[in-house]
Amino acid sequence: MPLDAEEGVTLYKEAPLEELMFVADTLRQVHNPGRAAGWMIDRNVNITNICFSQCSFCNFCRKKNSPDAYITTIQQYIAKIDELFRLGGDQLLLQGGMNPDLGLDFYTDLFRKLKELYPSLKLHALGPPEIVFLSEKEKKSYHEILSALTGAGLDSLPGAGAEILSDRVRKIVSPAKATGTEWLEVMRTAHKMNLPTSATMMYGHIETVEERIEHLISLRDLQSEKEKDHYGFITFIPWPFQDKGTQLREKQGVRSGYNTPDYIRLIAISRIILNNIRNIQTSLLTVGKETAILSLHAGANDVGSVMIEENVVSAAGSVNRFNAEELQSVIREAGFVPVRRNQKYEPV
Ligand code: SF4
């Protein structure tokens, strides 16, 4: 029987960490038997840093008239993709702000152009808030927006913008962005279309343990609706709020609640609650090597990506950087075998 919300909260608050880790590690072996731990090479490119949303935890977004506002040009994409291919990767994680001037045609033209220039390139791009924004702007359904984007070359949809799905939290930290219900509805639509997706959580700000558990259960419930042979959520990736320079910290005095034992607890609880999502990814980029190693013994089976050029969490204080060799050595140090994978978590 899957855990209900009350059981999840009790476990989170009361279970000894070593016992949670033991159970989660056992479950990891059920979902991903053996000693393999995944990693990949991809490159983050930000489409634009102009964003009307102005989430209070975000240190990356700019207003349109800001002197350092930008929209990435095709020439810049070409330089970045050439470097990505040189380093052995083939996927772009394309994210950015919700720029009110950019409509559906901008994104479909961009995706088509990139695929025309680089037919083998994979596009892991945008996220539910952008789909909601484009749907409102273009007066089209989520299905129509996603169909247009996949038709133009979108390969998979990141779980960006989930933060904490509770609307109490979202009203405070990201009031202009998609609601929790809208986020889930976009993902429901993507799952029906068999578009691979990921699920995320940005935690450690103003949310309660109850809201973290609610978030996990919402993901699990949505995943249980998908067709058996559809991708659904391929992975779950939680990462802690990075507070440096954010409005949430500067104006509201909210500090990141991150600490290693709590992160490991969250990874373990995620593995236990998310009984229908196969992969749990530790966020090496935000938590660093030692914590990532512990995570691999607490239910996580993946350390994420080399992530050439990451600008969003690093703008708020994350300083970790790993190349392909270092990333694999983290996995080996944890006692696992590094297996390079693609976005669908298939070995490559
Ligand atoms: S987190 Fe994303 S949606 Fe929110 S302000 Fe930053 S760029 Fe915009």
- Over residues 35-93, the pLDDT tens digits come to 999 999 999 999 999 999 999 999 899 999 999 999 999 999 999 999 999 888 999 99
Q: How far is the CA of 54 from the centre of ligand 1 (A)?
A: 6
Ligand 1 centroid to Cα of residue 39, in Å, is 26
Q: Is the pLDDT of residue 316 over 80?
A: no
Q: What is the pLDDT of residues 110-154, one digit of tens each?
A: 999 999 999 999 999 999 999 999 999 999 999 999 999 999 999
Cα angle 286, 57, 258; round to 5: 40
Ligand 1 atom at minimal distance to the Cα of residue 58 = 6
Ligand 1 contacts (CB < 6 A) are: 51, 53-55, 58, 60-61, 97-98, 129, 174, 177
Minimum-distance ligand 1 atom for the alpha carbon of 52: 8
